Structure 1
């Protein structure tokens, strides 16, 4: 089973929002590399839910991929923050996926703690300048992060 890490700003969607909702659409990814990672996801995959752009960035919990990837409807909605005027029903370059809640950690595992782990040295998240919102996580990295919770 592949593992992933996906970032969300908590004021947009937090792990606790997902817990309350149970299931929701993960949309609005507007980076081609991150989009391509979403396109390679499959129902049944799991991901680390990472809170970004907040006072305490870090891994906040675990979520589950519920669907196969599909065209992002937010790209076609003029009322959406993620609207793309160049997208159309026939040619939508963006991808969404449905996700569900698995677990919220008692405390966020801070980025500084993740950076201090030698087992995570190859994880893109801990590299300076890495801003990718979706990335693969190896099984060894997944295990190392879960040991920190």
Structure 2
């Protein structure tokens, strides 16, 4: 009489451990890549917002011969409401925006300098934004100021 052949069912512990180890390695490789991609996308969005705000401010200046007054964080200057797209937000994700205007003395009288401040608790995002921007910036702490010339 022959003994019935035993059918193997399921996976062994070794097979499960090897599979879990491989999945863990893949996750450890992919998470930093995903974070890098999302940071670059967020930085590109902030840069696009800056371009939109800059163009709106320059259009306002061309029409009114003056730049908008400064505003607080995440507050759109009232003078720019008609220039910006409907539903435009003065911030994105962890980044908050603030419109700035400085009066500088000297030479033939006071002149004005304007810019957009961006603050974020994420230093990697701010560093990525600073690397992407080709104009004048002032960086310090948890914020960057884009100077509009």
**TM-score of the two chains, using structure 1 as the length reference:** 0.21
The structure richer in strand per residue is 1
The structure richer in helix per residue is 2
The structure whose Rg is larger is: 2
Flag the structure with more relative contact order, 1 or 2, with Cα contacts below 8 A and sequence separation at least 6: 1
**TM-score of the two chains, using structure 2 as the length reference:** 0.21
